């Protein structure tokens, strides 16, 4: 067993979060309850997969449970189509929240009551400063903020104004409810953060019931508490927010409000996943979709789970990737090559081998009779006997890859050339006698002869040839389309663009190559959308789930057979 297989088969790697949970359990904590809390404002990406594997994985290891909760506090950016895609992607990845599906909007009533409890305790106030003014008076890391002139309104006035905010008396953006904490705090987040804003937008679940919406910060920790989440695992950029979340929770606890749980959730931060040549911010992914750079959220070049799935990545390969990158406290950038490596490892075990020619060059075998065929029984997967065998059909006219022939070969070119011999995989050794050209001088056909003593590809006389090429019979093949992909961004760090430019500066204009006249062996013509195959010598290919029509298959190249991402760097 090699080291890669070891990783695939081993128990999950331990990380610092295991240590924390173990200590909590020793101290008598109850069952572990985690959650994955997406905002329904985009599709899930490979970074989310890290968080999903971590949260659902921990729940499974500790025999606890993991909730799926949509943090839907921003109706202007949210959409039910995102909710459906997120559910589909989590299931596809192999995880199940069973009956534990929640929405932060389920707690809008409760949050409203709790906000009033804070007002009654003198810990929140209605502020009339416009949003720009609120941020201007917040101060900086080195200077304290200034108190709002509305900060010391009476409790009764605050209760009355807040009620009227809710009942729609004031225009959008004209008032906010703010927590009354400390404008001088060294934690910027504690400088009287906004808890509610007025926003007349229909919510996908609560409709037009509300014209005030709680902020994410006011909602997130309370939602966790209400659901009895024991460990609120989030990415490092929320480290500072922890002070605020704790303030809200402890203050509410001291006021004795009713929640679903006695125990406050414990926030633990880990480093988010960054991948070379990849952007993961949903804002930018949305831009790529809206500016038409890609063909939707599930474009096979997108780092979304929907895109990766369409490209041919398996859930197993993505889970393996998440396991290998581990969970740590410091931010880092993972090589895209590792994700591709995980796909190769998994597809190598499960994908059946087939032959396809992407850029066909016709060969006529002049000594092979027109009405003759040979059938060669070949293994579908040399690494997996259970995959069985199939028949390859050989005939007088075949196709090989254009690139596998050179009229004037450079040194160390061992494939086909005038007067040269190669093996056609599992079939015959052939010799090239002539290259036929059209009037423009382009080679359109090769005239070759088969060595009749090499049936099955092995020479009876022990003759050696240096190359083995893939091929398909002209008559017993079908036409198909293949799409080859390169990363969307040329630079390892796409965010590294000059001042005044934006992300598109680093865009790779060559991220997709469409080959419309490929030939695939007959056996492949019945392949179904979503199925993956290894095209010999070319890589792993998955039947596209969108663009196939009867009689015309489209294949997406998932990965090449060997790591060649360096090709991207060279193109720069």
Q: Which residues are catalytic?
A: 39, 272, 282
d(CA 252, CA 115): 9
Of the candidates 191, 210, 192, which has an alpha carbon nearest to the alpha carbon of residue 201? 210
* Least separation in angstroms between CB 244 and ligand ATP: 16
* Least separation in angstroms between CB 47 and ligand ATP: 2
Strands 477-485, 512-521: pairing kind: antiparallel
d(CA 572, CA 568): 7
* Least separation in angstroms between CB 69 and ligand ATP: 10
Q: Which of residues 276-295 bind ligand ATP (CB under 6 A)?
A: 280-282
Of 48-56, 105-113, 123-131, 469-477, which segment contacts ligand ATP by CB under 6 A? 48-56
Question: Rule CB under 6 A: is residue 39 a binding residue for ligand ATP?
Answer: yes
DSSP-assigned beta bridge partners for residue 304: 45
* Least separation in angstroms between CB 88 and ligand ATP: 15
Question: Rule CB under 6 A: is residue 38 a binding residue for ligand ATP?
Answer: yes
113 contacts 166 by C-beta, under 8 angstroms: no
* Least separation in angstroms between CB 245 and ligand ATP: 13
Nearest residue to ligand ATP by CB is: 47
* Both structure tokens of 404: 């596998």
Of the candidates 322, 215, 217, which has an alpha carbon nearest to the alpha carbon of residue 272? 322
Over the window 228 to 267, marking each residue x when it contacts ligand ATP by CB under 6 A and - when it does not, the resulting string is ------xx--------------------------------
* Least separation in angstroms between CB 292 and ligand ATP: 20
Question: Rule CB under 6 A: is residue 336 a binding residue for ligand ATP?
Answer: no
Question: Rule CB under 6 A: is residue 50 a binding residue for ligand ATP?
Answer: yes
Over the window 196 to 235, marking each residue x when it contacts ligand ATP by CB under 6 A and - when it does not, the resulting string is --------------------------------------xx
Computed over its alpha carbons, how large is the radius of gyration of the chain?
A: 31
- Mapped onto helix, strand or coil, the DSSP state of residue 136 is helix
Of the candidates 405, 551, 541, which has an alpha carbon nearest to the alpha carbon of residue 484? 541
Q: Where are the beta strands (DSSP E) in 53-100?
A: 65-70
Of 47-55, 322-330, 435-443, 537-545, which segment contacts ligand ATP by CB under 6 A? 47-55
Q: Evaluate the CA torsion angle 197, 200, 201, 204 in order and state its sign.
A: positive
Q: What is the largest CA-CA distance in the chain?
A: 103
Question: Rule CB under 6 A: is residue 273 a binding residue for ligand ATP?
Answer: yes
489 contacts 504 by C-beta, under 8 angstroms: no
Cβ-count burial 347-385 (b if 16+ within 10 Å, e if not): beebbbbbbbbbebbbbbbeebeeeeebebebebbeeee
d(CA 210, CA 320): 43
Nearer to ligand ATP, 282 or 483 (CB): 282
Question: Rule CB under 6 A: is residue 51 a binding residue for ligand ATP?
Answer: yes
Question: Rule CB under 6 A: is residue 61 a binding residue for ligand ATP?
Answer: no
Question: Rule CB under 6 A: is residue 48 a binding residue for ligand ATP?
Answer: yes
CA 24, 28, 29: angle at the middle one, nearest 5? 55
Nearer to ligand ATP, 320 or 544 (CB): 320
Question: Rule CB under 6 A: is residue 37 a binding residue for ligand ATP?
Answer: yes
Question: Rule CB under 6 A: is residue 47 a binding residue for ligand ATP?
Answer: yes
* Least separation in angstroms between CB 235 and ligand ATP: 4
Binding site for ligand ATP (CB under 6 A): 37-39, 47-48, 50-51, 234-235, 272-273, 280-282
């Amino acid at each position: 067993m090699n080291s890669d297989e070891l990783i695939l088969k081993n128990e999950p790697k331990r990380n610092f979060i295991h240590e924390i949970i173990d200590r909590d359990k020793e101290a008598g904590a109850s069952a572990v309850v985690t959650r994955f809390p997406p905002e329904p404002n985009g599709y899930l990406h490979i970074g989310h997969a890290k968080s999903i594997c971590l949260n659902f994985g921990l729940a499974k290891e500790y025999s606890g449970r993991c909730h799926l909760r949509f943090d839907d506090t921003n109706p202007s950016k949210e959409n039910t189509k995102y909710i459906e895609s997120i559910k589909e992607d989590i299931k596809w990845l192999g995880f199940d929240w069973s009956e534990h599906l929640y929405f932060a909007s389920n707690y809008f009533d409760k949050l409203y009551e709790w906000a009033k409890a804070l007002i009654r305790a003198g810990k929140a106030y209605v502020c009339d400063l416009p949003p720009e003014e609120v941020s201007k008076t917040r101060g900086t890391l080195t200077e304290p903020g200034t108190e709002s002139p509305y900060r010391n309104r009476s409790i009764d006035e605050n209760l009355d104004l807040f009620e009227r905010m809710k009942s729609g008396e004031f225009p959008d953006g004209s008032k906010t409810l703010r927590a009354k904490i400390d404008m001088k705090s060294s934690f910027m987040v504690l400088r009287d953060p906004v808890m509610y804003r007025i926003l007349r937008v229909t919510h996908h679940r609560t409709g037009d019931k509300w014209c005030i919406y709680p902020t994410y910060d006011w909602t997130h920790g309370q939602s966790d508490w209400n659901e009895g989440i024991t460990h609120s695992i989030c990415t490092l950029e929320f480290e500072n927010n922890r002070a605020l979340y704790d303030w809200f929770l402890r203050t509410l606890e001291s006021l004795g409000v009713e929640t679903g749980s006695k125990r406050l959730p414990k926030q633990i931060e880990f480093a988010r996943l960054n991948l070379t040549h990849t952007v993961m911010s949903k804002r930018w992914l949305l831009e790529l979709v809206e500016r038409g750079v890609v063909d939707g959220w599930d474009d096979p070049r997108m780092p979304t789970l929907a895109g990766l799935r369409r490209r041919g990545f398996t859930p197993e390969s993505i889970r393996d990737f998440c396991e290998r990158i581990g969970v740590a406290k410091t931010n880092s950038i993972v090589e895209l090559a590792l994700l591709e490596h995980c796909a190769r490892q998994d597809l190598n075990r499960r994908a059946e081998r087939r032959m396809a020619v992407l850029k066909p060059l016709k060969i006529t075998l002049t000594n092979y009779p027109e009405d003759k065929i040979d059938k060669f029984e070949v293994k579908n997967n040399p690494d997996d006997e259970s995959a069985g065998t199939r028949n390859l059909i050989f005939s007088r006219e075949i196709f090989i890859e254009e690139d596998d022939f050179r009229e004037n070969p450079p040194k160390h070119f061992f494939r086909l050339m005038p007067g040269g011999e190669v093996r056609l995989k599992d079939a015959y050794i052939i010799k090239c006698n002539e290259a036929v050209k059209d009037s423009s001088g382009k080679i359109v056909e090769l005239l070759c002869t088969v060595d009749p003593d090499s049936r099955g590809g092995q020479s009876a006389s022990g003759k050696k040839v240096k190359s083995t090429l893939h091929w398909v019979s002209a008559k017993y093949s079908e036409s198909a389309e293949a799409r080859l992909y390169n990363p969307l961004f040329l630079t390892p760090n796409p965010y590294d663009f000059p001042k005044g430019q934006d992300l598109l500066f680093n865009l790779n204009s060559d991220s997709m190559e469409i080959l419309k006249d490929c030939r695939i062996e007959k056996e492949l013509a019945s392949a179904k959308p979503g199925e993956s195959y290894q095209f010999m010598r070319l890589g792993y290919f998955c039947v596209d789930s969108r663009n196939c029509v009867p009689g015309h298959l489209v294949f997406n190249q998932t990965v090449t057979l060997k790591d060649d991402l360096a090709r991207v760097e060279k193109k720069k």
